Amino acid sequence: MRILVVEDEHKIASSIKRGLEQEGYAVDVAYDGEQGYDLASSESYDAIVLDLMLPKIDGLTICSKLREEEKHTPILILTAKGFLSDRVNGLNTGADDYLVKPFAFEELLARLRALLRRPKNGGLARLVYKDLELDSVNFEVKMSGKKINLSRKEFALLEYLMRNSGKIVSKDNIIDHVWSYDADILPNTVEVYIGYLRKKISGLIQTVRGFGYKLD
């Protein structure tokens, strides 16, 4: 799952990024509205955390521009305390939820997970593929009922493969959804992580030569 955070306060932006990366998400940060809008409209994200008061382009404008362009990425708005009209405007321009600053990271995480689980995002809390079960809320994976221990990255990779089971996903697709933009990932790294996963869940991940991988 890849998240875009648009926030001009560097301290808040980096603490959100750090927290989400620890939870296994890939996170890109934009520090002004223009960069945020450019990334949101050109890259593919699973959700956007959007501050409202931003240099260059404000959050509400970004939100309505994206919706006009038929971009339906879930948006969680961050708004300063007391700006009730901002919240109402935010939801009217097509944001999915809002959070009032200051907020606890746990609350941000809970709301983001709720957005990512919405059916229109293909998001189910519990994914099942053959005898493999993945619970994205409790970060648990079981194979034939037996718990398997995965690192956060292995978990994120498996979740991405399971959400796309039966489809071929390329290494680039995987890099885009599992790693952050600044992570400097090489296609080799994907192979290494696929290798780790194969050791833990044998027989399910197929290599499609020249294209990528498929859970089948």
Give residues in contact with Ca ion (CB under 5 A): 8, 51, 53
Nearest residue to Ca ion, by Cβ distance, number only: 53
**Cα–Cα distance, 82 to 67 (Å, whole number):** 25
- Apex CA 185: angle with CA 142 and CA 18, to 5°? 70
Min CB(68)–Ca ion separation in Å: 23
Judged by beta carbon, residue 6 or residue 116, the one nearer Ca ion is 6
Q: How far apart are CA 13 and CA 174, in angstroms?
A: 24
d(CA 14, CA 27): 10
Nearer to Ca ion, 30 or 185 (CB): 30
In the complex, least distance from residue 31 CB atom to Ca ion, rounded to whole angstroms:
10
Minimum distance of Ca ion from residue 145's CB (angstroms): 47
- In terms of C-beta density within 10 A (0-12 exposed, 13-18 middle, 19 or more buried), how is residue 26 classed? buried
Helix intervals (H) in 93-151: 105-117
Closest CB to Ca ion among 49 and 174? 49
* Residues 81-118 as b or e (16 or more Cβ within 10 Å = b): eebeebbebbeebbbbbbbbeeeeeeebbebbbbbbbe
- Nearest distance in Å: CB 78, Ca ion: 8
Our CB check for Ca ion shows the closer of 46 and 51 to be: 51
CB of 124 to Ca ion, least distance (A): 33
Q: Which is nearer to Ca ion, 39 or 53 (CB)?
A: 53
